[in-house]
A and B are shown apart, each in its own frame.
Chain A
Amino acid sequence: MSTAVRRRVSPRQAQALVSVLLWAMMATTVLVLAFIIVFVLQRGLPHVTWEFLSQPPRASGREGGVWPIIVGTLAVTLFAVAIATPLGLGTAIYLTEFTRENRFTRMVRFGADSLAGVPSIIFGLFGFVFFVITLGFGWSILAGGLTLAFMVLPTVIRTSEEAIKAVPAGYREVALTLGATKWQSIVKVVLPSALPGIVTGVILGMGRSISETAAVIFTAGSSLSQVVPTSLFDGTRTLSVHFYQLAREGISAEKAYASAAVLVLSILVINVSAYTLMNRFIRRYR
Chain B
Amino acid sequence: MRPLVARALVLAGLLGALGCGRKPATGLTLAGSTSVQPFAEKWAEAFQAKNPAVEIHVQGGGSTAGVKAAVTGTAQIGMCSRELKPDEAQAVTATVVARDGETMIVHPSMPVNDLTVDQLRKIYSRETTSWKEVGGPDRRITVVTREQGSGARGAFEDMVMNGKQITSAALVQDSQGAVRQMVSTDPAAIGYVSHGVVDSSVKGLRLEGVEPNEETIVSGRYPLVRPFLFLTKGAPSGAAKEFIDWVLGPEGQAIGRKEGLFPPAKQ
- Given A139-B57, A191-B2, A221-B57, A231 and B24 touching (CB < 8 A)? yes
We find that the number of chain B residues with CB closer than 8 angstroms to chain A is: 40
| Bound complex: CA A158 to CA B181 (Å) | 42
- Given A139-B29, A191-B2, A133 and B74 touching (CB < 8 A)? yes
We find that the number of chain A residues with CB closer than 8 angstroms to chain B is: 37
Q: Which among B3-11, B158-166, B215-223, B235-243 touches the partner chain?
A: B3-11
Assess whether A223 is in contact with B58, with CB atoms less than 8 Å apart: yes
CB distance from A243 to the nearest CB of B (A): 13
Q: Which among A114-122, A248-256, A269-277 touches the partner chain?
A: A248-256
Is A54 engaged at the interface, CB distance under 8 Å to the other chain?
A: no
| Bound complex: CA A89 to CA B74 (Å) | 34
Assess whether B22 is in contact with A231, with CB atoms less than 8 Å apart: yes
Assess whether A234 is in contact with B177, with CB atoms less than 8 Å apart: no
Q: Which residue of A lies closest to B34 (CB)?
A: A249
Q: Which residue of B lies closest to A85 (CB)?
A: B6
Instruction: Give every chain B residue within 8 A of A231 (Cβ-Cβ).
Output: 17, 20-24
Assess whether B177 is in contact with A251, with CB atoms less than 8 Å apart: yes
CB distance from A98 to the nearest CB of B (A): 12
Cβ < 8 Å to A, chain B residues 178-218: 178, 180-181, 201
Assess whether B41 is in contact with A224, with CB atoms less than 8 Å apart: yes
| Bound complex: CA A90 to CA B4 (Å) | 9
Residues of A within 8 A of B (CB): 58-60, 82-83, 85-86, 89-90, 93, 132-133, 136, 138-139, 142, 183, 187, 191, 221-227, 230-235, 245, 248-251
Residues of B within 8 A of A (CB): 1-3, 6-7, 10, 13, 17-18, 20-24, 27, 29, 31, 38, 41-42, 45, 48, 55-60, 72-75, 174-178, 180-181, 201
The 3 A-B residue pairs with the shortest CB-CB distance, nearest first, are: A249-B177, A231-B21, A223-B57
